[in-house]
Homo-oligomer: A and B are copies of this chain.
Amino acid sequence: MTDQLSRVFAALADPTRRDMVARLTEADHTVNELAAPYDVSVQAVSKHVKVLEEAGLVSRSREAQRRPVHLEAEVFDLMTKWIERYRRRAEERYAALDAVLARMQDEDGPSRTDQEGTAS
């Protein structure tokens, strides 16, 4: 799990971390503020923030004792690109499959319509 994309997906696999990301779209927050709504220790939240940080999803600045956590938007593009690439290819393939099936129904009789199993 060394590459960034893996770290990003892994970070967002946790509902608590996704919720933190959601709240960080509204405003920056300190670790203590982030921890408030959840029924876990501040240390646990600190660990979550660290995971998000290593994934490049957030950054932290220093401001007196506080270390406000700030959401980084660029990483979302990384995910979007990955997803869009494969989604598009998958959809193209379905279109092609539909065409093939249509041609099959067209050409020969309706005798072998049971071949594709549960294919959509």
Residues of A within 8 A of B (CB): 1, 3, 5-7, 9-10, 12-15, 18, 21-22, 24-30, 33, 59, 61-63, 66, 68, 70-71, 73, 76-77, 79-80, 82-84, 86-87, 89-91, 93-94, 116-120
Q: Nearest Cβ in chain B — how far from A55, in angstroms?
A: 10
The answer to whether B70 touches A119, judged by C-beta atoms less than 8 angstroms apart, is yes
Cross-chain contact A76 with B70 (CB below 8 angstroms)? no
Partner of A119, one of B5, B14, B27, B66: B27
Residue of B nearest to A114 (CB): B63
A83 near B91: Cβ-Cβ < 8 Å: no
Top 4 nearest A-B pairs by Cβ distance? Answer: A61-B117, A10-B13, A9-B13, A25-B89
Measured between beta carbons, the chain B residues less than 8 angstroms from A94 are 73
By the criterion CB–CB under 8 Å, are B25 and A14 in contact?
no
Residues of B within 8 A of A61 (CB): 116-119
